[in-house]
Amino acid sequence: MRYLILSDIHSNREAFGAIVSFVKRKKWDKAVFLGDLVGYGANPNQTVDLLRSLRPLVAIRGNHDKVCSGLEEGELFNRMALEAALWTRQKLTRSNLQWLKALPKGPAVVDGQFAISHGTPVDEDAYIFGELEALNVFRHTDFPICFFGHSHFPVIFALSPDAITTVLTVAPSFRFKLKEGVRYLINPGSVGQPRDGNPLCSFAIFDSDTRVVTIHRLPYKLKQAQKKIMDAGLPRPLADRLALGR
Q: Supply the minimum distance, in Å, between the C-beta of residue 103 and Zn ion.
A: 14
Q: Supply the minimum distance, in Å, between the C-beta of residue 150 and Zn ion.
A: 6
Q: What is the DSSP annotation of 86-144?
A: HHHHHHS-HHHHHHHHTPPPSPEEETTTEEEESS-SS-TT----SHHHHHHHHHH---S
Taking CB atoms, the residue at the shortest distance from Zn ion is: 36
Near Zn ion by CB under 5 A, which window of 6-14, 68-76, 159-167, 211-219? 6-14
Q: What is d(CA 1, CA 207) in angstroms, rounded to the nearest whole number?
A: 6
Closer by beta carbon to Zn ion, 147 or else 158 = 147
Q: What is d(CA 198, CA 180) in angstroms, rounded to the nearest whole number?
A: 31
Near Zn ion by CB under 5 A, which window of 4-12, 20-28, 140-148, 170-178? 4-12
Q: Supply the minimum distance, in Å, between the C-beta of residue 75 and Zn ion.
A: 17
Under the criterion CB under 5 A, does residue 65 sit at the interface with Zn ion? no
Q: 134 CB contacts (<8 Å, ≥6 apart)?
A: 128, 157, 159, 164, 166, 185
Q: Using the rule CB under 5 A, which residue among 14, 36, 65, 207 binds Zn ion?
A: 36
Near Zn ion by CB under 5 A, which window of 26-34, 36-44, 69-77, 84-92? 36-44
Total binding residues toward Zn ion, as defined by CB under 5 A? 2
Total residues belonging to the chain: 246
Closer by beta carbon to Zn ion, 8 or else 196 = 8
User: Within the chain, where are the H helices?
Assistant: 13-23, 44-53, 63-68, 79-91, 94-101, 131-140, 222-231, 236-244
Q: Supply the minimum distance, in Å, between the C-beta of residue 8 and Zn ion.
A: 4
Q: Using the rule CB under 5 A, which residue among 6, 8, 143, 194 binds Zn ion?
A: 8
What's the gap between Cα 74 and its chain centre? 19
List interacting residues with Zn ion (CB under 5 A).
8, 36
